[in-house]
């Protein structure tokens, strides 16, 4: 299972980083997907826990510690107050998020993964 972690900031509505750091295939593409709605739907060998309408952050490279295709890659996205406001979110908004990524070693036909999901609510 891909784990999604966070590192909240202490400032008011300052934003925080969304990270998926463990066991991500290195040198693959992925992106954070999020919504203000939730769902639980079978999806590409896992579960899509983000409802519609779905928002996608820019595609990222997972990088990694070596040139080999190992599990040292990871993703991060700063879900800042500016990003939230630009997408119509403010204090009191609840966001559901998870990462989608490519993985050549995944057992599903499309070689894709989704992380576990997280929900967070913006506080004033």
Per-residue pLDDT in tens (0 to 9) along the chain, 124 residues: 344 545 444 444 455 555 554 567 777 889 999 999 999 999 887 899 999 999 999 999 888 777 777 778 888 888 888 898 999 998 899 999 999 888 777 777 777 788 888 898 887 7
What Rg value do the Cα atoms of the chain yield, rounded? 15
Instruction: Write down the architecture of domain 5-121 according to CATH.
Output: Sandwich (2.60)
pLDDT in tens, 64-98: 777 777 778 888 888 888 898 999 998 899 999 99
Q: What is the 3-state secondary structure (H, E, C) of the chain?
A: CCCCEEEECCCCCCEEEEEEEEEECCCCEEEEEEECCEEEEEECCEEEEECCCCEECCCEECCCCCCCCCCCEEEEEEEEHHHHHHCCCCCCCEEEEEEEEECCCCCCCCCEEECCCEEEECCC
CB within 8 A of 76, min separation 6: which ones? 17, 18, 19, 20, 21, 60
Please state the pTM of the whole predicted model: 0.79
């Amino acid at each position: 299972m891909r784990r999604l972690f966070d590192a909240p900031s202490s400032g008011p509505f300052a934003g925080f980083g969304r990270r998926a750091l463990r066991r991500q295939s290195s040198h693959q593409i992925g992106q954070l997907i999020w919504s203000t709605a939730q769902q639980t739907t079978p999806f590409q060998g896992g579960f899509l826990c983000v409802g519609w309408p779905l928002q996608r952050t820019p595609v990222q490279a997972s990088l990694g510690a070596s040139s080999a295709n190992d599990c040292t890659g990871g993703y991060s996205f700063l879900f800042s107050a500016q990003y939230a406001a630009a997408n119509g979110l403010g204090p009191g908004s609840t966001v559901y998020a998870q990462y989608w990524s490519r993985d050549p070693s995944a057992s599903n036909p499309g070689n894709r993964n989704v992380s576990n999901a997280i929900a967070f609510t913006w506080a004033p």
